[in-house]
Structure 1
Protein backbone atom coordinates (compact mmCIF):
# COMPACT_ATOMS: atom_id res chain seq x y z
CA UNK A 1 0.00 0.00 0.00
CA UNK A 2 1.31 3.43 -0.94
CA UNK A 3 1.18 6.09 1.76
CA UNK A 4 2.82 9.40 2.52
CA UNK A 5 4.18 12.14 0.32
CA UNK A 6 7.59 12.93 -1.13
CA UNK A 7 8.86 15.76 -3.28
CA UNK A 8 10.25 14.60 -6.61
CA UNK A 9 11.55 16.45 -9.62
CA UNK A 10 10.53 16.28 -13.26
CA UNK A 11 13.55 16.69 -15.54
CA UNK A 12 13.73 18.69 -18.77
CA UNK A 13 12.59 15.65 -20.77
CA UNK A 14 9.43 15.24 -18.67
CA UNK A 15 10.64 12.24 -16.65
CA UNK A 16 9.56 11.94 -13.02
CA UNK A 17 12.09 10.36 -10.67
CA UNK A 18 10.02 8.02 -8.49
CA UNK A 19 10.87 8.57 -4.80
CA UNK A 20 12.96 5.70 -3.40
CA UNK A 21 10.36 4.81 -0.75
CA UNK A 22 7.74 4.21 -3.45
CA UNK A 23 10.16 2.61 -5.91
CA UNK A 24 11.01 -0.14 -3.42
CA UNK A 25 7.35 -1.18 -3.19
CA UNK A 26 6.91 -0.91 -6.95
CA UNK A 27 9.92 -3.15 -7.56
CA UNK A 28 8.82 -5.72 -4.96
CA UNK A 29 5.16 -5.93 -5.87
CA UNK A 30 4.45 -4.53 -9.33
CA UNK A 31 7.28 -4.31 -11.81
CA UNK A 32 8.05 -1.62 -14.37
CA UNK A 33 4.84 -1.08 -16.40
CA UNK A 34 2.37 1.69 -15.52
CA UNK A 35 -0.69 3.45 -16.81
CA UNK A 36 -0.38 7.18 -16.19
CA UNK A 37 -3.55 9.22 -16.59
CA UNK A 38 -5.61 11.94 -14.93
CA UNK A 39 -9.19 12.24 -13.79
CA UNK A 40 -9.21 16.05 -13.84
CA UNK A 41 -6.23 17.30 -15.86
CA UNK A 42 -4.67 18.73 -12.70
CA UNK A 43 -2.56 15.79 -11.53
CA UNK A 44 -1.00 12.59 -12.81
CA UNK A 45 -2.49 9.37 -11.48
CA UNK A 46 0.20 6.70 -11.67
CA UNK A 47 -1.23 3.18 -11.62
CA UNK A 48 0.89 0.05 -11.60
CA UNK A 49 -0.48 -1.84 -14.60
CA UNK A 50 -1.94 -4.62 -12.41
CA UNK A 51 -4.00 -2.04 -10.49
CA UNK A 52 -5.19 -0.31 -13.67
CA UNK A 53 -6.19 -3.66 -15.16
CA UNK A 54 -8.50 -4.20 -12.16
CA UNK A 55 -10.24 -0.93 -13.02
CA UNK A 56 -10.50 -1.92 -16.68
CA UNK A 57 -11.98 -5.29 -15.70
CA UNK A 58 -14.57 -3.57 -13.50
CA UNK A 59 -15.44 -1.11 -16.27
CA UNK A 60 -15.91 -4.01 -18.70
CA UNK A 61 -18.64 -5.45 -16.47
CA UNK A 62 -20.65 -2.23 -16.53
CA UNK A 63 -23.27 -1.46 -19.11
CA UNK A 64 -22.80 1.50 -21.38
CA UNK A 65 -23.66 4.81 -19.78
CA UNK A 66 -22.72 8.46 -20.22
CA UNK A 67 -20.58 8.20 -17.06
CA UNK A 68 -18.67 5.19 -18.35
CA UNK A 69 -18.09 6.89 -21.69
CA UNK A 70 -16.88 10.07 -19.96
CA UNK A 71 -14.54 8.11 -17.66
CA UNK A 72 -13.02 6.24 -20.60
CA UNK A 73 -12.71 9.39 -22.69
CA UNK A 74 -10.96 11.38 -19.95
CA UNK A 75 -8.63 8.64 -18.76
CA UNK A 76 -7.64 7.65 -22.29
CA UNK A 77 -7.15 11.26 -23.40
CA UNK A 78 -4.61 11.85 -20.65
CA UNK A 79 -3.39 8.25 -20.42
CA UNK A 80 -0.36 6.39 -21.67
CA UNK A 81 1.28 3.08 -20.87
CA UNK A 82 4.77 3.83 -19.58
CA UNK A 83 7.79 1.70 -18.67
CA UNK A 84 10.01 2.76 -15.77
CA UNK A 85 13.60 3.19 -16.95
CA UNK A 86 16.68 1.81 -15.22
CA UNK A 87 17.07 5.00 -13.17
CA UNK A 88 13.54 4.76 -11.74
CA UNK A 89 12.05 7.47 -13.95
CA UNK A 90 8.62 7.60 -15.57
CA UNK A 91 7.92 9.71 -18.64
CA UNK A 92 4.78 11.74 -17.90
CA UNK A 93 2.47 12.16 -20.92
CA UNK A 94 3.19 15.46 -22.69
CA UNK A 95 -0.44 16.65 -22.84
CA UNK A 96 -0.86 15.98 -19.12
CA UNK A 97 2.41 17.75 -18.25
CA UNK A 98 1.29 20.80 -20.22
CA UNK A 99 -2.27 21.00 -18.86
CA UNK A 100 -1.42 20.23 -15.22
CA UNK A 101 1.80 22.23 -14.99
CA UNK A 102 3.79 19.12 -14.11
CA UNK A 103 7.29 20.56 -14.17
CA UNK A 104 9.89 21.15 -11.51
CA UNK A 105 9.00 19.96 -8.02
CA UNK A 106 5.99 17.68 -7.67
CA UNK A 107 4.36 16.26 -4.58
CA UNK A 108 4.15 12.50 -5.14
CA UNK A 109 1.52 11.09 -2.81
CA UNK A 110 0.66 7.51 -2.00
CA UNK A 111 -3.04 6.83 -2.47
CA UNK A 112 -3.25 3.18 -1.42
CA UNK A 113 -3.00 1.40 -4.81
CA UNK A 114 -1.65 4.26 -6.91
CA UNK A 115 0.56 7.32 -6.78
CA UNK A 116 -0.63 10.82 -7.51
CA UNK A 117 1.78 13.52 -8.71
CA UNK A 118 0.80 17.17 -8.58
CA UNK A 119 2.58 20.51 -8.78
CA UNK A 120 3.73 21.06 -5.20
CA UNK A 121 2.82 24.77 -5.03
CA UNK A 122 -0.66 24.09 -6.40
CA UNK A 123 -1.16 21.26 -3.89
CA UNK A 124 -0.19 23.45 -0.94
CA UNK A 125 -2.65 26.12 -2.12
CA UNK A 126 -5.39 23.49 -2.57
CA UNK A 127 -4.85 22.13 0.96
CA UNK A 128 -4.99 25.61 2.47
CA UNK A 129 -8.14 26.49 0.55
CA UNK A 130 -10.00 23.31 1.55
CA UNK A 131 -8.66 21.89 4.84
CA UNK A 132 -10.07 18.79 6.48
CA UNK A 133 -12.96 19.69 8.74
CA UNK A 134 -14.82 18.06 11.59
CA UNK A 135 -17.62 17.29 9.13
CA UNK A 136 -15.15 15.44 6.91
CA UNK A 137 -13.99 13.31 9.82
CA UNK A 138 -17.58 12.66 10.91
CA UNK A 139 -18.56 11.55 7.38
CA UNK A 140 -15.61 9.17 7.21
CA UNK A 141 -16.24 7.75 10.70
CA UNK A 142 -12.71 6.38 10.99
CA UNK A 143 -12.18 4.67 14.35
CA UNK A 144 -9.40 6.29 16.37
CA UNK A 145 -9.29 9.50 14.34
Structure 2
Protein backbone atom coordinates (compact mmCIF):
# COMPACT_ATOMS: atom_id res chain seq x y z
CA UNK A 1 0.00 0.00 0.00
CA UNK A 2 1.38 3.39 -0.93
CA UNK A 3 2.09 5.94 1.77
CA UNK A 4 -0.60 8.27 0.44
CA UNK A 5 -3.21 5.49 0.49
CA UNK A 6 -2.06 4.54 3.98
CA UNK A 7 -2.49 8.16 5.12
CA UNK A 8 -6.02 8.26 3.74
CA UNK A 9 -6.93 4.94 5.35
CA UNK A 10 -5.49 6.00 8.72
CA UNK A 11 -7.48 9.24 8.45
CA UNK A 12 -10.68 7.18 8.32
CA UNK A 13 -9.54 5.05 11.26
CA UNK A 14 -8.72 8.15 13.32
CA UNK A 15 -12.12 9.65 12.50
CA UNK A 16 -13.92 6.52 13.63
CA UNK A 17 -11.84 6.36 16.81
CA UNK A 18 -12.40 10.08 17.45
CA UNK A 19 -8.64 10.50 17.92
CA UNK A 20 -8.46 14.26 17.31
CA UNK A 21 -4.70 14.63 17.76
CA UNK A 22 -3.84 11.86 15.29
CA UNK A 23 -6.54 12.98 12.86
CA UNK A 24 -5.25 16.56 12.90
CA UNK A 25 -1.70 15.47 12.14
CA UNK A 26 -2.80 13.17 9.31
CA UNK A 27 -4.91 15.96 7.84
CA UNK A 28 -1.89 18.29 7.96
CA UNK A 29 0.18 15.71 6.08
CA UNK A 30 -2.52 15.15 3.47
CA UNK A 31 -2.93 18.92 3.04
CA UNK A 32 0.83 19.35 2.53
CA UNK A 33 0.85 16.63 -0.12
CA UNK A 34 -2.23 18.07 -1.85
CA UNK A 35 -0.71 21.58 -1.81
CA UNK A 36 2.39 20.38 -3.62
CA UNK A 37 0.28 18.43 -6.10
CA UNK A 38 -1.76 21.57 -6.85
CA UNK A 39 1.33 23.76 -7.10
CA UNK A 40 3.19 21.41 -9.44
CA UNK A 41 0.05 20.18 -11.25
CA UNK A 42 1.20 16.59 -11.09
CA UNK A 43 0.63 13.62 -8.84
CA UNK A 44 3.42 12.97 -6.34
CA UNK A 45 5.39 9.75 -6.45
CA UNK A 46 5.99 7.58 -3.39
CA UNK A 47 9.43 9.11 -2.83
CA UNK A 48 7.96 12.63 -3.09
CA UNK A 49 5.36 11.82 -0.42
CA UNK A 50 8.13 10.43 1.82
CA UNK A 51 10.13 13.63 1.24
CA UNK A 52 7.12 15.75 2.29
CA UNK A 53 6.65 13.72 5.48
CA UNK A 54 10.39 13.89 6.24
CA UNK A 55 10.29 17.66 5.81
CA UNK A 56 7.31 17.88 8.17
CA UNK A 57 9.21 15.89 10.83
CA UNK A 58 12.24 18.17 10.44
CA UNK A 59 10.05 21.27 10.79
CA UNK A 60 8.54 19.92 13.98
CA UNK A 61 11.96 19.10 15.43
CA UNK A 62 13.02 22.71 14.76
CA UNK A 63 9.81 23.94 16.40
CA UNK A 64 10.43 21.80 19.48
CA UNK A 65 13.86 23.33 20.01
CA UNK A 66 12.43 26.84 19.61
CA UNK A 67 9.51 26.16 21.96
CA UNK A 68 11.80 24.69 24.60
CA UNK A 69 14.14 27.67 24.33
CA UNK A 70 11.14 29.95 24.88
CA UNK A 71 9.94 27.90 27.88
CA UNK A 72 6.78 26.63 26.13
CA UNK A 73 6.97 22.93 26.97
CA UNK A 74 3.24 22.33 26.33
CA UNK A 75 3.68 23.39 22.69
CA UNK A 76 6.84 21.30 22.37
CA UNK A 77 4.88 18.28 23.62
CA UNK A 78 2.23 18.81 20.92
CA UNK A 79 4.94 18.93 18.25
CA UNK A 80 6.58 15.78 19.66
CA UNK A 81 3.24 13.96 19.48
CA UNK A 82 2.87 15.03 15.84
CA UNK A 83 6.35 13.69 15.08
CA UNK A 84 5.39 10.29 16.50
CA UNK A 85 2.30 10.16 14.27
CA UNK A 86 4.29 11.17 11.17
CA UNK A 87 7.03 8.62 11.88
CA UNK A 88 4.47 5.80 11.60
CA UNK A 89 4.16 6.60 7.88
CA UNK A 90 7.90 6.85 7.19
CA UNK A 91 10.00 3.81 6.25
CA UNK A 92 11.84 1.98 9.01
CA UNK A 93 14.95 3.91 10.07
CA UNK A 94 18.31 2.46 9.08
CA UNK A 95 20.64 1.10 11.75
CA UNK A 96 24.12 2.55 12.15
CA UNK A 97 25.66 -0.56 10.58
CA UNK A 98 23.38 -0.26 7.53
CA UNK A 99 24.26 3.44 7.16
CA UNK A 100 27.97 2.67 7.41
CA UNK A 101 27.67 -0.05 4.75
CA UNK A 102 25.74 2.25 2.41
CA UNK A 103 28.27 5.07 2.87
CA UNK A 104 31.19 2.73 2.20
CA UNK A 105 29.50 1.38 -0.93
CA UNK A 106 28.65 4.88 -2.20
CA UNK A 107 32.21 6.10 -1.67
CA UNK A 108 33.66 3.13 -3.56
CA UNK A 109 31.03 3.35 -6.35
CA UNK A 110 31.64 7.05 -6.91
CA UNK A 111 35.42 6.76 -6.66
CA UNK A 112 35.43 9.60 -4.12
CA UNK A 113 38.87 10.55 -2.84
CA UNK A 114 38.28 13.78 -0.95
CA UNK A 115 35.84 16.43 0.17
CA UNK A 116 35.43 17.71 -3.40
CA UNK A 117 33.56 14.45 -4.16
CA UNK A 118 31.02 14.86 -1.35
CA UNK A 119 28.26 15.81 -3.80
CA UNK A 120 28.77 12.62 -5.81
CA UNK A 121 28.47 10.48 -2.69
CA UNK A 122 25.39 12.34 -1.45
CA UNK A 123 23.81 12.02 -4.89
CA UNK A 124 24.17 8.24 -4.72
CA UNK A 125 22.98 7.97 -1.11
CA UNK A 126 20.04 10.36 -1.04
CA UNK A 127 17.55 8.18 -2.96
CA UNK A 128 18.57 5.13 -0.90
CA UNK A 129 18.13 6.72 2.53
CA UNK A 130 15.32 9.25 1.90
CA UNK A 131 13.15 9.27 5.00
CA UNK A 132 15.16 6.49 6.62
CA UNK A 133 18.13 8.47 7.96
CA UNK A 134 18.90 12.00 9.09
CA UNK A 135 20.63 13.69 6.16
CA UNK A 136 22.60 15.98 8.49
CA UNK A 137 24.04 13.05 10.41
CA UNK A 138 24.71 11.23 7.15
CA UNK A 139 26.59 14.25 5.84
CA UNK A 140 28.77 14.23 8.96
CA UNK A 141 29.60 10.55 8.48
CA UNK A 142 30.57 11.15 4.85
CA UNK A 143 32.72 14.14 5.83
CA UNK A 144 34.61 12.06 8.40
CA UNK A 145 35.24 9.29 5.88
CA UNK A 146 36.42 11.62 3.12
CA UNK A 147 38.61 13.81 5.32
TM-score by length of 2: 0.27
State which structure, 1 or 2, has the greater radius of gyration over its C-alpha atoms: 2
Instruction: Specify which structure has the bigger relative contact order, considering alpha-carbon pairs within 8 angstroms and separated by 6 or more residues.
Output: 1
The structure in which a higher percent of residues are helix is: 2
TM-score by length of 1: 0.27
